Amino acid sequence: MTVEEAVLIIIQAFWAMLPAYAAGPVAVLTGGGSPMDGGRNWRDGKRILGDGKTWRGLAGGTIGGIGIAGILSVIVRGAGNNDLTDFLMPNWETNLSWIFVGFMMAFGSLFGDFVKSFFKRRSGKERGSKSPIIDMYDFILGSWLLAIVFANPWFMETFWPEAYAFPWHMLVVLIISPLLHRSVNIIGYKMGKKDVPW
């Protein structure tokens, strides 16, 4: 692999993850109001998801992520086909495509996040408490799960193109996402949007 190829893989991986990356921070900005669990408890007497998972956050983050996918799609179409742009949604020709892929990545991201909260509550962890590692990967696993199941050709072409025997794009995402996650959360904390810097 050449240096140029490696740089391209990093840019491509980051770019394709943007709708999933955007969903969480947009949920933080738009969240509030009715919690998704309706304030109800699970069998163990603890909250199902907790007050940190709200319908407004879920809707806002999903729509925000889809919006990012739309912007990326416009950029890709405008730039025409070349090495750098021929990867976001290469085999989705209809206008619904970026909405569809954007939904899977953004909603999937928040899906991973609230599934994590469910298990956090079951293990007795309060809302906002730290669960290292899993906090950094929940949204990746969620977005990848939905994309693998419902947008498989796009997922494969984007994160494991046939040209490579190894899924380098996926490795890049697994390495850069925790760093990004941590930085964004520290910014959110300093802005007063998050109660804790994680």
| 19-78 positions binding ligand CTP, by CB under 6 A | 27-28, 31, 50, 52-54, 57-58
118, 171 Cβ separation under 8 angstroms: no
> Residues 92-119, buried b or exposed e (16+ Cβ, 10 A)?
beeeebbbbbbbbbbbbbbbbbbebbee
CA angle 135–11–19, rounded 5-degree value = 50
In this structure, is the dihedral angle defined by the CA atoms of residues 31, 32, 34 and 39, taken in order, positive or negative? positive
Alpha carbon separation from 96 to 70, 100, 139, 144 (Å, rounded): 10, 6, 23, 19
Nearer to ligand CTP, 54 or 97 (CB): 54
CA distances from 49 to 41, 92, 105, 110, 117 (A): 8, 35, 21, 13, 6
Q: Does 111 bind ligand CTP (CB under 6 A)?
A: no
Query: Which residues from 130-189 bind ligand CTP, rule CB under 6 A?
Result: none
Does 114 interact with ligand CTP (rule: CB under 6 A)?
Answer: yes
Binding residue for ligand CTP, selected from 89, 103, 120, 177, defined by CB under 6 A: 120
Which one, 9 or 102, has the nearer CB to ligand CTP? Answer: 102
DSSP three-state, residue 113: helix
Residue 127 as a binder of ligand CTP (CB under 6 A): the answer is yes
Residue 194 lies near ligand CTP (rule: CB under 6 A): yes
**Based on CB atoms, which residue is closest to ligand CTP, 47 or 169?**
47
The residue within the footprint of ligand CTP, chosen from 73, 117, 143, 177 (CB under 6 A), is: 117
Report the nearest approach of ligand CTP to the CB of residue 154 (Å). 24
What sign for the dihedral angle of Cα 39, 40, 45, 49? negative
* Dist. CA 190–CA 169, nearest whole Å: 31
3-state secondary structure of 41: strand
| SS3 (DSSP) at 1 | coil
Q: Which stretch binds ligand CTP (CB under 6 A): 2-10, 86-94, 121-129, 144-152?
A: 121-129
Closer Cβ to ligand CTP, 25 or 172, answer by number: 25
Nearer to ligand CTP, 53 or 169 (CB): 53
Based on the shown chain and the rule CB under 6 A, indicate whether residue 113 belongs to the binding site for ligand CTP: yes
Chain residues that interact with ligand CTP, rule: CB under 6 A: 27-28, 31, 50, 52-54, 57-58, 110, 113-114, 117, 120, 127-129, 194
